[in-house]
A and B are shown apart, each in its own frame.
Chain A
Amino acid sequence: MLETFIHKIRKNPYWYFFFKLIAFLLLLFVLDFSIGNILRHFYFKQQSGLQYRTTYSIEKTNADILVFGSSRANHHYRPDAFENQIGLSFYNVGRDGQYVFYHLDVLKAVLKRYTPKIIILDFVNKEFAQNQESYDRLSVLLPYYKTHPEMRSIINLRSKYERLKLLSQIYPFNSTMFTIAVGNAEFNKKRKSDNKGYVPLTRKWNGVIPKNSISANYEVDSLKIDAYKSFIQECARANVKLYIVCSPYFIQSDITDYSVSIGKEIAKENNIAFFDFSKDTVFVNNTELFADFAHLNDTGAKLFSDSLVKCIIEK
C-alpha cells in the first residue's frame, strides 16, 4: 500500500519532495527528542561542578544570604565570614563570566521559590559595557528555559530566533556534552571544589602587572542598565535587603569606571547601599592578596569578606 502511495506521489516532484522531507523531519524529531531528553536527565543529575552550582542556585538553595555576580563574586565572598558574624546561612550564586542579565534571571527564579533575607550583588568595572559576549554567555541558562518561564524574557535576548531554536531538545545542551559526562562521572561526584558556592583560589599572584585596563570611554548597553534597575526593583518588591558591592581591584585608577558611576547613581536613587572597595588601599597593588590580575586569593577573600561584613553590620 505504501509502495503504491509512493509510486503515485513520485509522479509529482513537489509532493514527492514534501513526503520525503516529512519522513526525514520525523526521523530528526525522534533523534532530537531522545538525545535531548537523555542529556537533560544527566544534566540535572550532576552532583558537583559549575552546572550543578547553577542548578542548585536556581532550584535548591534556601540560604538567608545570597551573593550574586561574576567570577569575582564567586571567588571573593567567603561563607564563614557571613555565617559566623551575621549568623545567617549563606550561598554564593556567582558564576564565571556572567553579567547582570544572568544575575537578574537567577534572582527571578530564586524569588519565585523563597525570599532570602540579604542579597549582595557584586558589581564589576565595565558591567554595563556593550558587548555581544554577555548575551552569548546566557547560553548557560538554556537548560532552564523549559521549566522556568520567569527566566525566558532574559534568555530571549540572546537572539530574535531563540524561541525557535529552543524547539530543539538538544539545542539547550549545545557544547555541554563533555561537561555533563564529567559531572556524572564517579570521580567527579566525590570531588567538592566549592564551599557553599564559594570557590577559593589558593595561589598568590606573581605575574607581570598589566597596563591599566580601566577605560572611561566605552559604549553602554541600555538593556544592561534596565536589567540592573530590575534587579533592584525585584529585591525591593520582595522586601529583601540589598547591598551592591564593587569588590577590590589590583589596579589603582584615578578614573572611576563609567559603569560604576552609573551603578552608584542608580543605587543612590533607590536608597541602596553601594560599597566601593575598588580603591581600597589595603588591596591595591598587593600581590599577596590576589590570585591573578582580577581575582582575590583565599587570603584576600577572607580580608575582604570580613571588611564587608563589618560595613553591613554598621549599616
Chain B
Amino acid sequence: MLFNSLHFLFFFIIVTSLYFAIPYSKRWVLLLVSSCYFYMAFVPIYILILGFTIVIDYFAGIYIRDAEGKRRKLLLVFSLVANIGVLAVFKYYNFLNENFSFLLHGFGLSNPIPYLSILLPIGLSFHTFQAMSYTIEVYRGHQEPERHFGIYSLYVMFYPQLVAGPIERPQNLLHQFREKYDFEYTRVVDGLKLMLWGIFKKLVIADRLAIYVDTVYNNPEQHNGSTLILATIFFAVQIYCDFSGYSDIAIGAARVMGFKLMTNFNRPYFARNISEFWKRWHISLSTWFKDYLYIYLGGNRVSIPRWYFNLFIVFLVSGLWHGANWTYIIWGALNGFYLVFALVSHKFRNKMNHLTGIEKSPWLNRFLQISITFLLSCFAWIFFRANHVTDAFLIIKKMATSSGAFYIENPSVMIFSFLGLFILLFVELKQEFYKGDFSFFNNKRWIVRNLSYAILIVIILLFGVFDGGQFIYFQF
C-alpha cells in the first residue's frame, strides 16, 4: 500500500477515525492490527520475518535488563546477530555470492553455492535498524525494556514509519503509545498539511523528474554530457522529493494521531558543506550510525588517522545499508572521502577564503559553499542512480567530454518538471531564509491559507504523475 494511493487514503481515514472513536486503552490494538494490514498489503508472508525479529528482540530486551556481566553482552550479540542475519540473508546473500563467484572465476573455479530466488522484504533495513536501536538502548541502560508485547510490536511496526522510516529510537517513540492523545484541531490540521506537502513533492516533483531521469539513466550511452548533467541534477531533486515526501507523509500521518516522529530532512541542499549536508539529510539514519557505529568505533576521541578511518567506515557501511550493489558502496565511500577531505583541507580552505577576501561577502560565500556542496552531492548521486558501476563511469566520462543540446522527448515533461522545481525552490528558500515573513500556507486569513492548499491540490491534479512508481527508499 503506497502512501500516494487512494488505497492508503481510505486506510488512513478509517484508521484515524477509529483511533479517535475508541477508548485510549484499546488504541494500541487498532494501531497494531492496522500496521499488520498495511505491511501485509505488500507481500503478506514477510510478516513472519518481522514477527521473528520482534519475538527475539522483545525477549532479548527483557533478559538483557535482568542479566549481568558477560550474559548481558551475549544476549545483545544474539539479538544483533539475529537482526543482521535476517538482513544478510535477504539483502546481501546474493550480492556476496555473486562477488564470491566472480572471485572464484578469476582462479578458473566455479561457485557451488546456489543463488536464492527471494524478494527483499519491503523496508527491511528500516525496521531492522529500529529494532536494533531498542536492544542497544536497553543494553546501555538508556531504556527500560518494554514488557507489553503488543506495545513493543507496535514500536517496530507502527505503520507510518514501518517501511521507510524515520528510524525511531525507543526513548522517543515507545512511551508515546501510552500517551492519551485527544483530537486537537490545530495538530490534526498541521499533520494533514504536512501530508499534502509530501504528496505534492512525490507526485508533482519526484515522479515527474523520474520520467526524464529514467529515460536518460537507463540508456546513458545514447545521451550527451549536457543531458546527463541535467538528468543528474534532476535525480538529486527527485530523490530528495521522493524520500522527504515520504517522510512528510509519515510524520504528518503520525502527527494527526498525536505522535511526534523525529524530523528526517531539513532542506539538505542548503547545506554549506558535506558535514552539514549529512546533518540535514536522512537525519534518523545519520544519527543512528553516529549513535551506534561511529561512537562505538571511538568517534573523534581517537588519533586523527583513526578518526578519519572511523568517518570513512561509517559512510562505507551507510552505502552498503542502502543496497547490495557496488554502486551504493562507492556512493558511500565517496561521501566518506568528501568528509575526510573537508577535514584535511580545512585550514587550507580557510586560508584561501582569507586571501581571496570572499569571507567579507557572506552572501556570496554562502552561495558558493551551497553550490559546491550541491555539486559534490550530485556527483555522488551518479553512482547511487546508475544501474551499474560501468554506467556510472561512462556517465562521468561523457559529462566531461561530450556536450550538445539537451534531450527533450516531450516538452510537457520538461515544462512540468521546471514548474514543480520552481514551487519547491520558492517554498524552501522562504523556509530557509525568510522565516516569519508573509506566508501563503500559514496566512492569518482563512481564505488565503485555504486557497493556497486548494491550489496545491489543483496543481497535484493538473501536473501530478498518477501512474508513477513506488518510493525509491522502499527497496532499502
Write the nearest CB–CB distance from A169 to chain B, whole angstroms.
9
Residue contact A27 to B450, C-beta cutoff 8 Å:
yes
**Chain A minimum-CB-distance residue to B461:** A170
**Chain B minimum-CB-distance residue to A137:** B467
The reply on A178 being an interface residue by CB < 8 A is yes
Cα A206 to Cα B466 with chains together (Å): 37
Chain A 1-43 near chain B by CB (<8 Å), digits 1 or 0: 0000000000001101100100110011001100100000000
Return chain A residues, CB-CB under 8 Å to B465: 175
A170-B184 contact, Cβ under 8 Å, with A24-B454, A139-B467, A175-B416:
no
Cα A75 to Cα B112 with chains together (Å): 52
Residue contact B7 to A170, C-beta cutoff 8 Å:
no
Residue contact B463 to A32, C-beta cutoff 8 Å:
no
**Chain A minimum-CB-distance residue to B21:** A14
Max count, chain B CB within 10 A of own CB: residue among A173, A178, A179: A178
Cα A266 to Cα B472 with chains together (Å): 41
Interface of B is mostly: helix
The reply on B464 being an interface residue by CB < 8 A is yes
Interface size of B by CB at 8 A reads 28
Return chain A residues, CB-CB under 8 Å to B415: 178
**Chain B minimum-CB-distance residue to A139:** B467
> Which of A23, A136, A139, A175 is close to B450, meaning CB atoms less than 8 Å apart?
A23
The reply on A255 being an interface residue by CB < 8 A is no
A24-B458 contact, Cβ under 8 Å, with A13-B185, A161-B6, A178-B411:
no
Return chain B residues, CB-CB under 8 Å to A164: 6
The reply on A293 being an interface residue by CB < 8 A is no
> Which of B185, B455, B461, B467 is close to A16, meaning CB atoms less than 8 Å apart?
B185
Residue contact A17 to B453, C-beta cutoff 8 Å:
no
Cα A23 to Cα B463 with chains together (Å): 24
> Which of A13, A136, A159, A168 is close to B184, meaning CB atoms less than 8 Å apart?
A13
Residue contact A14 to B183, C-beta cutoff 8 Å:
yes
The reply on A165 being an interface residue by CB < 8 A is yes
Chain B residues numbered 171-218 whose CB sits less than 8 Å from any CB in chain A: 182-185, 188-189
> Which of A13, A20, A177 is close to B463, meaning CB atoms less than 8 Å apart?
A177
Cα A178 to Cα B457 with chains together (Å): 18
Return chain B residues, CB-CB under 8 Å to A16: 185
Write the nearest CB–CB distance from A58 to chain B, whole angstroms.
22
The reply on A145 being an interface residue by CB < 8 A is no
Residue contact B416 to A178, C-beta cutoff 8 Å:
yes
Cα A208 to Cα B462 with chains together (Å): 39
Residue contact B458 to A31, C-beta cutoff 8 Å:
yes
Return chain B residues, CB-CB under 8 Å to A175: 412, 416, 462-463, 465
Cα A190 to Cα B455 with chains together (Å): 34
The reply on B451 being an interface residue by CB < 8 A is yes
Cα A178 to Cα B418 with chains together (Å): 13
**Chain B minimum-CB-distance residue to A34:** B458
Return chain A residues, CB-CB under 8 Å to B466: 139, 165, 171, 174
Interface of A is mostly: helix
Cα A93 to Cα B412 with chains together (Å): 23
Return chain B residues, CB-CB under 8 Å to A23: 450
Chain A residues numbered 139-198 whose CB sits less than 8 Å from any CB in chain B: 139, 159, 161, 164-165, 168, 170-171, 173-179
**Chain B minimum-CB-distance residue to A179:** B412
Chain A residues numbered 23-79 whose CB sits less than 8 Å from any CB in chain B: 23-24, 27-28, 31-32, 35
Return chain A residues, CB-CB under 8 Å to B189: 17, 20
> Which of A17, A31, A136, A177 is close to B188, meaning CB atoms less than 8 Å apart?
A17
A28-B416 contact, Cβ under 8 Å, with A13-B185, A17-B183:
no
Chain B 15-26 near chain A by CB (<8 Å), digits 1 or 0: 000001000000
Return chain B residues, CB-CB under 8 Å to A174: 461-464, 466
Residue contact B451 to A27, C-beta cutoff 8 Å:
yes
Return chain A residues, CB-CB under 8 Å to B454: 24, 27-28, 31
Write the nearest CB–CB distance from B214 to chain A, whole angstroms.
13
**Chain A minimum-CB-distance residue to B5:** A161
Cα A161 to Cα B8 with chains together (Å): 12
A136-B467 contact, Cβ under 8 Å, with A175-B412, A175-B416:
yes
Write the nearest CB–CB distance from B411 to chain A, whole angstroms.
7
**Chain B minimum-CB-distance residue to A171:** B461
Return chain B residues, CB-CB under 8 Å to A24: 450, 453-454
Cα A259 to Cα B396 with chains together (Å): 40
Return chain B residues, CB-CB under 8 Å to A17: 183, 185, 188-189
Cα A170 to Cα B460 with chains together (Å): 10
- Offer 16 A-B interface pairs, CB within 8 angstroms, sorted by A: A13-B185, A17-B185, A20-B189, A24-B450, A28-B454, A31-B458, A136-B467, A161-B6, A170-B461, A171-B461, A173-B462, A174-B466, A177-B412, A178-B411, A178-B416, A179-B412
Besides A17-B189, A174-B462, 17 other CB < 8 A contacts? A13-B183, A13-B184, A14-B183, A20-B185, A24-B450, A27-B454, A28-B454, A28-B458, A31-B454, A32-B461, A139-B466, A159-B6, A174-B463, A175-B412, A178-B415, A178-B416, A179-B412
Residues of A whose CB lies within 8 Å of any CB of B are 13-14, 16-17, 20, 23-24, 27-28, 31-32, 35, 132, 136, 139, 159, 161, 164-165, 168, 170-171, 173-179
Closest 6 CB pairs of A and B: A136-B467, A161-B6, A170-B461, A178-B412, A13-B185, A28-B454
